């Protein structure tokens, strides 16, 4: 429901950021249905999997480096607060997701009510790290009060599309997302992290038979 409500905001001729993950897939499908009905857009995917899906559904894609701004992006989140602070990166695409969000005029997050929290931190914070620096970063996040582990997938170290590893960090409750974001940005070897602060304009939350909008 949230995905369809968000997809209805897309206008003819827009450049549209296409999110990654199980929730964002609903939005890609909803946008594709509008494209098949005549909507003309150009899409910018946030992952290879989204690119493949969008192409298969008939959405025309363009290179992000060919545009200065993206009109609207629809993406999911692992957690969000009423203040539009987010944790993203559970699917491992946080770097491209944040680049797309940073270039987007209208970032719309879609989620169900289970993702709504008072304080971020129940979901471990993904931090994308250059492999060479993984041990150093683990030490540095510990100094910030976090307990980090290198993400594994099917018994092997998870590798991102950009060739990096992800450290999932348990910070318990994150009372100062902006401050923690800045501290993480200051660690050498950290490529990006999943705290999205000041990037979303709206969260559309499906709850029961309604869609509640946070602005």
State the catalytic residues.
97
The side-by-side arrangement of strands in the sheet containing 86-87 is: 79-80, 86-87, 195-196
CA dihedral of residues 194, 198, 200, 202 (deg, nearest 10): 130
| Parallel, antiparallel or unpaired: strands 202-207 and 195-196 | unpaired
- How far does Cα 183 stand from its chain's mean position? 20
Contacts of 133 (CB under 8 A, 6+ apart): 188, 189, 190
């Amino acid at each position: 429901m949230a995905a369809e409500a968000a997809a209805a905001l897309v206008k003819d001729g827009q450049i549209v950021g296409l999110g990654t993950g199980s929730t964002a897939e609903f939005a890609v499908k909803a946008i594709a249905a509008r494209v098949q009905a005549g909507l003309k857009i150009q899409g910018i995917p946030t992952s290879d999997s989204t690119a493949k899906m969008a192409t298969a559904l008939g959405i025309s894609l363009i290179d992000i480096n060919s545009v200065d701004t993206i009109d609207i992006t629809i993406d999911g989140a692992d957690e969000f607060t009423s203040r539009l602070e987010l944790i993203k990166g559970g699917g491992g695409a946080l770097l491209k997701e944040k680049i797309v969000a940073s270039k987007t005029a209208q970032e719309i997050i879609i989620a169900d009510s289970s993702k709504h929290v008072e304080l971020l931190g129940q979901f471990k914070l993904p931090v994308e790290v250059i492999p060479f620096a993984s041990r150093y970063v683990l030490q540095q996040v510990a100094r910030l009060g976090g307990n980090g582990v290198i993400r594994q997938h099917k018994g092997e170290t998870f590798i991102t599309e950009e060739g990096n590893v992800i450290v999932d960090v348990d910070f318990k409750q994150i009372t100062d997302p902006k401050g923690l974001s800045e501290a993480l940005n200051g660690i050498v070897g950290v490529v990006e992290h999943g705290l999205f602060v000041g990037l979303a304009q709206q969260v559309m939350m499906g709850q029961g038979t309604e869609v509640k909008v946070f602005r």
